[in-house]
Structure 1
Amino acid sequence: MAVRAVVVEADGGSRGNPGPAGYGAVVRDRASGEVLAERAEAIGTATNNVAEYRGLIAGLEAAAELGATEVDARMDSKLVVEQMCGRWQIKHPGLRPLAAQAAALVGRFAAVRFQWIPRERNRHADALANAAMDAAATGSAAGRPTRDAATKRAGTDPATTPASWEPRPSDTATRLILVRHGETEFTEQRRYSGRGDVPLSERGRAQARATGARVAALAPAAAAVVSSPLSRCTATARAIAGALRGTVPVRTVDDLIECDFGVWEARTFAEVRAGWQGELDAWLASTRVAPPDGESFTEVAARVARATDALVEAYPGETVVVVSHVSPIKLVLRDALAADDAFLHRLYLDAAGISVLDRWPDGGVAVRSVNDTAHLAAL
């Protein structure tokens, strides 16, 4: 029997961005909330945004097969929602054919309404996407639910990037200059410093000034400076922006904030080891485990990937300075290098250290430097 009004919840992701990718989609009856269809698939190597679009397409296809006439499409990808609503331009050439495919599907319904929802309200589709990513990472077939017809595979992904030693033209890449904020009292005392707004110390302010001079030498005409909203980052970002050529305002991006360390916030590493031995061991063993009342690194990686994807989309061929914290920057570098989670514990990032990577429209990535601290030698 045809269903008149449905809700499509869709998600997608990549372990590496680009990396092993997959999507998930759920179709629900709008009145009862009953799950009518589920779709998920591993799609090989792709970016987060490509996987998100593929999830939307799969959900719309399932809704059409069910005979729906009205669709409420809900996603936690602001980029996809804004582009499908026509409020954001689609600059990434790899996304345009996917957006066109989704738009063609939209035309098959009497009405489609797009809505951004936070990730915690998209858990069903997120879980399907994560299972598909696990399958992509192991090279196995995706464990697709069987509540409806199997998802159709759509050929070669436009964001798949074959391995190559061939030099790429740097003028087509978006260069991200990743800067960890300067020191704070918590940095010096080796305390967990997450969402608490701890200001720069005197040494941290000197580091920020030195970092500004170094970034100005690397990219005097940077197009933008974006920052975590916490003051230790915004103060570092302002010092950098002030050293650049022309007027470059500092814009804050909430997704660049540090991991929420929950009840461990402001405690020393030794205090956490003494009071939460089991929880700490579990956290160190898996990026999916969160500190008590906190946030997992898997969650941090997802939101930071959204932020950097949006920057690559907004500033093609330009340089953007990103001022953030140790955990977000480590996760960006882990994904850029296609490393496993052990990388997070083996990489050290100094306060005010600089890392540089390039990202191309087809998903190509080149890491040019990691934790450059030469500018701090005289302090």
Structure 2
Amino acid sequence: MTLQSLTMIRHGESASNAAAALLAGTDAEEFGDGTRDPDVPLTDLGRRQATAIGAWLAGQSDREWTVLCSPYRRARETASLALEFIGPAAVRIDERLRDRDIGTLQGLTDLGWRRRYPGEQARRERLGRFYYRPPGGESWTDVALRLRTLLPELDGHVLIFAHDIVVVMARYIIEGLDEQAILAIERNQIRNGSISRWARTGAGLTRVDYNATAHLDRLDGRVL
């Protein structure tokens, strides 16, 4: 059997997402409360986004999903809330779907890492965002390498709960894009609770939706 469709969902708004948005444009150098990145939970808005995803899933044609999820709490909580709408589903946790590790820059605002690691700004500008690897962290291409081992294993109709960079790099691989193309696409950030889909047509996968948020339109509050 081959991969018939791939549906990728970015987790709902997390506590770190909300904290970073609140401090954007201020003099703050850090955001969040020091919680380890894999343990960051959803906010109330994030949980509402997850239930909206579940309502969307319930409206899809009956199919047997193979469900995979990042091990990070925000993704697991999103999957748990959404999957309540379609009945019991076995969820396979796969570490290759985890968020990008940004090493020593974790928990710092843009201003914070520029002040504390001034040499890193010059290094990122020299290497470019695609290949830049923060101290102790990963580059975009490191995430792509993880996904290149995972995607060939998938078959049937696959539903994945993960993170923005995972969705971005999946598109990079599936659609055979280059560095400049994916950088241009990524300027429109993958939103919390968004849905991206590819379906098989002939010998390959064709994009159906990308960063879609219409299912979130009725929610009160921000859609990030």
TM over 0.5: yes
Give the aligned partner of residue 113 of structure 2: 272
CA offset digits 1:201-253 (Å, max 9, x no partner): 11111111111111222354242221000110011111222212x42122211
Residue 196 (str. 1) matches residue 38 (str. 2) = yes
Task: Report the CA distance shift for 1:346/1:253 in structure 2 as closer, same or farther (over 3 A).
Answer: same
**Alpha-carbon distance, 1:347 to partner:** 3.3
Higher gyration radius (CA): 1
Task: Report the CA distance shift for 1:360/1:258 in structure 2 as closer, same or farther (over 3 A).
Answer: farther
Q: Residue 161 of structure 2: which of 323, 343, 346 is its match? A: 323
Matches within 5 A, 1:103-142: none
**Where do 5+ consecutive residues of structure 1 fail to align?**
1-90, 93-172
Task: Report the CA distance shift for 1:375/1:283 in structure 2 as closer, same or farther (over 3 A).
Answer: same
Residue 288 (str. 1) matches residue 131 (str. 2) = yes
Give the aligned partner of residue 99 of structure 2: 258
CA RMSD of aligned residues (A): 2.4
Q: Percent identity?
A: 29
**Contact 1:234 1:250 (8 Å CA) reproduced:** no
Give the aligned partner of residue 247 of structure 1: 88
TM-score by length of 2: 0.80
Residue 174 (str. 1) matches residue 4 (str. 2) = yes
For these two proteins, the number of residue pairs brought into alignment is: 202
**Contact 1:216 1:240 (8 Å CA) reproduced:** no
**Alpha-carbon distance, 1:349 to partner:** 0.6
Q: Which amino acid is 2:138 matched to?
A: E
3-state SS of 2:101 partner? coil
CA offset digits 1:67-96 (Å, max 9, x no partner): xxxxxxxxxxxxxxxxxxxxxxxx56xxxx
Task: Report the CA distance shift for 1:249/1:361 in structure 2 as closer, same or farther (over 3 A).
Answer: farther
**Alpha-carbon distance, 1:195 to partner:** 4.2
Which of 1 and 2 has higher RCO (CA within 8 Å, sep 6+)? 2
CA offset digits 1:275-301 (Å, max 9, x no partner): 334424533605333111111211111
Q: Residue 336 of structure 1: which of 174, 178, 191 is its match? A: 174
Task: Report the CA distance shift for 1:219/1:295 in structure 2 as closer, same or farther (over 3 A).
Answer: farther
Give the aligned partner of residue 147 of structure 2: 304
TM-score by length of 1: 0.49
**Contact 1:262 1:294 (8 Å CA) reproduced:** yes
Q: Distance in 1 between matches of 2:8 and 2:79?
A: 11
Q: Which amino acid is 1:243 matched to?
A: F
Q: Distance in 2 between matches of 1:269 and 1:220?
A: 44
Q: Distance in 1 between matches of 2:171 and 2:122?
A: 23
Q: Residue 206 of structure 2: which of 366, 371, 375 is its match? A: 366
Runs of 4+ deviating beyond 3 Å: 191-196, 280-284, 359-362
**Contact 1:257 1:324 (8 Å CA) reproduced:** yes
Q: Distance in 2 between matches of 1:255 and 1:307?
A: 7
Q: Distance in 2 between matches of 1:229 and 1:272?
A: 26
Q: Which amino acid is 1:224 matched to?
A: T
